[in-house]
């Protein structure tokens, strides 16, 4: 086998597209044949299961908190929550017909 064949095989594995996908699948098939058998899954003990459940509950709580904070920030940036009420409208005092304003 000449170097041209090895360069061609390397190009198949490196290149993208359908040929690269075929090369990837071929490599996975070869490695699957060579690799050892998968280790059997073991049963979790009650303590481990409870620890995992508590961690998942804590992650869920953190996610809900983060989601609420993100919603608040989006509303704040979008102007949905005013920071301060707008000031009242200033109306001009009516000017008497003679043009003289009374002193206060």
The domain tally of the chain equals 1
pTM of the model: 0.37
CA angle centred on 87, ends 85 and 92, rounded to 5°: 160
pLDDT score, position 51: 93
In a domain, 19, yes or no: yes
Please write the tens of the pLDDT for every residue from 31-79.
Answer: 766 666 667 788 888 999 999 999 999 999 999 999 888 888 888 887 6
pLDDT score, position 53: 94
CA gap 3, 14 in Å, rounded: 16
In a domain, 51, yes or no: yes
Write out the residue range of the structural domain in which residue 54 sits.
10-35+43-78
In a domain, 84, yes or no: no
Is 104's pLDDT higher than 70? no
């Amino acid at each position: 086998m000449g170097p041209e064949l090895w360069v061609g095989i390397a190009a198949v594995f490196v290149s993208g597209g359908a040929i690269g996908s075929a090369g990837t699948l071929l490599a996975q098939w070869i490695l699957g044949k060579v690799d050892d058998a998968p280790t059997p899954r073991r049963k979790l003990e009650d303590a481990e299961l409870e620890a995992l459940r508590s961690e998942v509950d804590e992650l869920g709580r953190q996610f809900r908190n983060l989601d609420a904070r993100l919603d608040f920030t989006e509303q704040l940036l979008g102007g949905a929550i005013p920071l301060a009420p707008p000031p009242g409208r200033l109306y001009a005092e009516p000017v008497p017909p003679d043009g003289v304003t009374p002193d206060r």
